[in-house]
Amino acid sequence: MGKDVIVACDFAGKEQCLEFLDKFTDCKPFVKIGMELFYSAGPDIVKEIKARGHKIFLDLKLHDIPNTVMKSMAVLSNLDVDMTNLHAAGTKAMMEAALKGLTREDGTRPILIAVTQLTSTSEEAMKEDLLINAPIDEVVMHYAENAKAAGLDGVVCSPLEAGKVHNRCGENFVTVTPGVRFADGDVGDQKRVTTPEKAKELGSDYIVVGRPITAAEDPVAAYKRCVAEFVG
Ligand code: C5P
């Protein structure tokens, strides 16, 4: 699995996002488009960024009945994204349906990964709100195994969990990990963070980096620093 840095383009609208991407004149980062940008700018923003030559991770975290997810994934696949995701909590049947919808007529498809438990969900909330009584680590690993059994390519997880996920699900099972900060940078609202270098050591396949790049004085230099530390 080739390692790469994915830039989380968490902007409120199309103009801010394109203005940011205009700064990258000599490289084309892998871009993550999340709900905020997608809901404000619509599918056209995906086509426009794709046409500029970027790879795209469309982070919409689908979770619905299998038939609805299958049909929605077919639409996302036609947008020609490179990676997309869903909630493993939607069950194996939903993940299998998603994979079917995502697969194009020629057999190709975007990488499909699953969110296990959101990192914003505490073990306490899981027990009290969701009535899930197993330890959160076990739930994360169980959901990762479900994703693998359903034929998915990997999961979103903390870099700190990447090694364990690989041990359980194999070295080729992709780990996409947010929560990355430079050793000398602001942590912001992320709780358990690692540096790009440490994420590499821990076995992450892709790191998702937002504010350390988007809010940097020189975003291109910050991106290149990430690549240098993570990819080498
Ligand atoms: O700005 P920052 O580097 O914290 O951005 C991280 C990105 O990864 C954001 O788009 C955030 O929504 C996403 N993310 C995360 N933790 C998860 C899943 C996604 O931070 N567990």
Does 61 contact ligand 1 (Cβ within 6 A)? no
Q: Is residue 210 in contact with ligand 1, taking CB distance under 6 Å? A: yes
* Radius of gyration from C-alpha coordinates of the chain: 17
Q: Note the pTM of the prediction, 2 decimals.
A: 0.96
Q: What confidence tens digit (pLDDT) does each residue in 133-185 have?
A: 999 999 999 999 999 999 999 999 989 999 999 999 999 999 999 999 999 98
Between the CA of 105 and the centroid of ligand 1 the distance, in Å, is: 32
| Nearest Cα residue to 11 out of 33, 27, 29 | 33
Q: What is the pLDDT of residues 85-126, one digit of tens each?
A: 999 999 999 999 999 999 999 999 999 999 999 888 899 999
Ligand 1 pocket member 187 (CB < 6 A): no
Pick from 208, 225, 230 the residue to mutate for probing ligand 1's pocket: most ligand atoms within 8 Å of its CB.
208
Q: Tell the burial category of 14 from Cβ atoms under 10 Å away from its Cβ (0-12, 13-18, 19+).
A: middle
Give the tens place of pLDDT for each residue, 180-218: 999 998 888 777 789 999 999 999 999 999 999 999 999
Active site residues: 61
Phi–psi pair at 156, nearest 5 degrees = -90, 130
- Position 2 scores a pLDDT of 77
Q: Would you place residue 1 in the very low, low, confident or very high pLDDT band (cuts 50, 70, 90)? A: low
> Within a 13 Å sphere around the CA of 92, how many CA atoms are in the beta-carbon half?
10
Q: What percent of the chain has pLDDT over 90?
A: 91
Is 94 near ligand 1, meaning CB less than 6 Å away? no
- Average the pLDDT over each of 9-18, 71-80, 118-127 and give the range with the smallest value: 118-127
Which residues lie below 8 Å from residue 40, measured CB to CB, with a gap of 6+?
12, 13, 14
Q: Give dist(CA 227, CA 29) in Å, integer.
A: 10
In sequence order, the 6+-apart residues with CB closer than 8 A to the CB of 133 are 127
CA of 151 from ligand 1 middle (Å) equals 24
Q: In a mutational test of the pocket of ligand 1, which residue from 5, 7, 10, 86 has the highest number of ligand atoms less than 8 Å from its CB?
A: 10
How far apart are alpha carbons 228 and 90 in whole angstroms?
37
Q: How far is the CA of 168 from the centre of ligand 1 (A)?
A: 24
CA of 210 to the centre of ligand 1 (A): 7
Q: CA-CA distance, 141 to 165, in Å (whole number)?
A: 7
Give yes or no for residue 90 CB within 6 A of ligand 1.
no
